[in-house]
Amino acid sequence: MTDTEMRELIRTIVEPLVSHPEDVKLDLKDTDDFHEYLLSVHPDDVGRVIGKRGRIAKAIRSIVYSIQFDGPKRVRLTIVD
């Protein structure tokens, strides 16, 4: 899977969950070991993407990490607040 496809996937997962889909931002930080996606949402929506005890965040991550990403680096998803 390529970068654009990955971005699309994350957006498709996250956008319906939040009440301000227009404020969903996705940045890519490439480090030596990871393709790190920095997900930021509207302040009111942070709870919605993290969930009780990180349940939703965990679910999103396990879907994202289950994807075979192009290249040797692994994907990482960070929620910024």
Q: Does 28 bind other proteins (CB under 8 A)?
A: no
d(CA 79, CA 39): 5
Cα 38 to chain centroid, rounded: 7
For other proteins, the binding residue among 20, 25, 67, 80 (CB under 8 A) is 67
Q: Are 77 and 37 in contact (CB under 8 A)?
A: yes
Q: Which of 26, 38, 51, 76 binds other proteins (CB under 8 A)?
A: 51
Site string for other proteins, 3-22 (x = CB under 8 A): --x--xx--xx--xx-----
Stretch that binds other proteins, among 1-9, 24-32, 35-43 (CB under 8 A): 1-9
First-to-final CA distance of the chain: 27
